[in-house]
């Protein structure tokens, strides 16, 4: 029986948060035509944007693969997934995988490998 896939998000601490916000505020300044006197507004907008990005990166991302009636839940980090996006596989599609200890390697349609850490085995 071929393994089948279900799509079912990991936090990477940001680099120096203050520096990220400063750089984003500078981008906003230039993007809005270098208007003087808007430093506080630009900083506040930069904080909000960066906070949203951090919150989005904290979601745990997982992929579920069924192998002979056993479900393997593999978590992966979006920032290390080489552009993998949920939905690349159709639910129930056969997918080539390799299990190595606590790792599950899933061959993607584009030929790249999605490396996950098995966090749960059901069945």
Domain ranges within the chain, ordered by starting residue: 4-10+59-122, 17-58
Give the mean model confidence (pLDDT) for residues 69-82.
Answer: 87
* Segment (H or E) for 112: none
Give residue 80's pLDDT: 80
Give residue 25's pLDDT: 95
**Reported confidence tier of residue 113, pLDDT bands at 50, 70, 90:** very high
Tell me the CB-side half-sphere exposure of residue 120, using CA atoms within 13 A.
Answer: 11
Where b means 16+ CB within 10 Å and e means fewer, 6-28 reads eeeebeeeeeeeeebbeebbeeb
**Reported confidence tier of residue 57, pLDDT bands at 50, 70, 90:** low
Rg of the Cα atoms in the chain: 20
pTM of the model: 0.54
- CA-CA-CA-CA dihedral for 76, 78, 82, 88, to nearest 10: 80
């Amino acid at each position: 029986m071929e393994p089948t896939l279900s799509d079912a998000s990991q936090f990477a601490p940001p680099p120096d948060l203050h520096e990220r916000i400063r750089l984003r505020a500078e981008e906003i300044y230039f993007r809005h035509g270098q208007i003087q006197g808007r430093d506080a507004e630009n900083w506040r907008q930069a904080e909000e944007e960066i906070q949203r990005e951090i919150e989005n990166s904290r979601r745990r991302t997982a992929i579920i693969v069924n192998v002979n009636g056993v479900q393997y839940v593999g978590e992966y980090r979006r920032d290390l997934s080489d552009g993998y996006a949920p939905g690349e596989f159709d639910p129930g599609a056969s997918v080539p995988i390799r299990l190595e200890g606590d790792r599950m390697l899933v061959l993607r349609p584009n030929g790249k490998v999605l490396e996950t850490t098995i966090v749960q085995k059901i069945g």
